[in-house]
Amino acid sequence: MTDFQSVKTVAVLTGAGVSAESGVPTFRGKDGLWRQYRVEDLATPEAFHRNPALVWEWYDWRRELIANCQPNQAHLTLAEMEKALPDFTLITQNVDGLHRRAGSQKVVELHGNLWDVRCVAEGTVREYRRVPLPEIPPRCQCGALLRPNVVWFGEPLPAEAIAAAQEAATSCDLMLVIGTSGVVHPAASLPFWAKQGGAYLIEINVQRTPISTYADEVILGPAAVEVPRLWAKWRQAVE
């Protein structure tokens, strides 16, 4: 076990597993209209250019599925950790927005946010939580199309987000890797950069991943159970 009393800088990387117990469905829908489409044919700039209404129908469906999902104990505990620790950065691959709803403020959203829209003409981004959408495809006040502010296949991650994530990973004393498969890059590289920088690496997942071999500790179990348990031990160690 790491010496929590010596930890000053913490970085956390989360993936889909952190939201599983909130009822957030997996990325690929299996029902209705979407059974006949590949996700790669819907979540690309080319698909949006070709048929923005179809792409928005799919995203409207996804937004409706997660609209009533609530942050679970893993999200809430991470928000509590941020308030208690002096230098804490949360990096997430998720687009469900549950970390922010739980109260986390220092969040780096590598893949964007499903509840934000971006004007294709002006580039302006704003939150738009209305479900279902009153108009498909939705339009900006300027008349141009709005698109989901998420990273699609074939698009680079936002430069500002990946720079912030790399800085947090390479400068932390401790990194928690929670509920991520460890196969989607560049996010999957962050734990290795943290290790190279001398960080202590703890992985929490329901199963082992490619990261497990390099982790100093592997905690097998659901995030909503194991993250609060780890935080309780942490607080006990420093009190």
pLDDT tens, position by position, 203-221: 999 999 999 999 999 999 9
What pLDDT is attached to residue 9? Answer: 96
CATH number at residue 163: 3.40.50.1220
Please say if 111 is a catalytic residue.
Answer: yes
> What are the pLDDT digits (tens) for 117-169?
999 999 999 999 999 999 999 999 999 999 999 999 889 999 999 999 999 99
pTM of the complete model: 0.92
78 and 45 in one domain? no
128 and 36 in one domain? yes
What pLDDT is attached to residue 34? Answer: 52
Confidence of residue 238 (pLDDT cuts 50, 70, 90): confident
Could you count the other beta carbons within 10 Å of the beta carbon of residue 52? 18
227 and 191 in one domain? yes
Kindly give, in sequence order, each residue whose CB lies less than 8 Å from that of residue 83, ignoring residues fewer than 6 positions away. Answer: 103
83 and 36 in one domain? no
Please tell me the total count of domains within the chain.
2
76 and 86 in one domain? yes
207 and 103 in one domain? yes
Active-site choice (49, 75, 111, 185):
111
211 and 139 in one domain? no
- Say whether the peptide bond before residue 210 is cis (omega within 30 degrees of 0): no
137 and 19 in one domain? no
> What are the pLDDT digits (tens) for 38-90?
777 788 999 999 999 999 999 998 899 899 999 999 999 999 999 999 999 99
201 and 122 in one domain? no
The residue range of the domain holding 212 is: 4-24+70-111+157-238
Phi-psi sector, 182: left (phi>0), alpha (psi -120 to 50), beta: left
By the 8 A CB rule, do 169 and 193 touch? yes
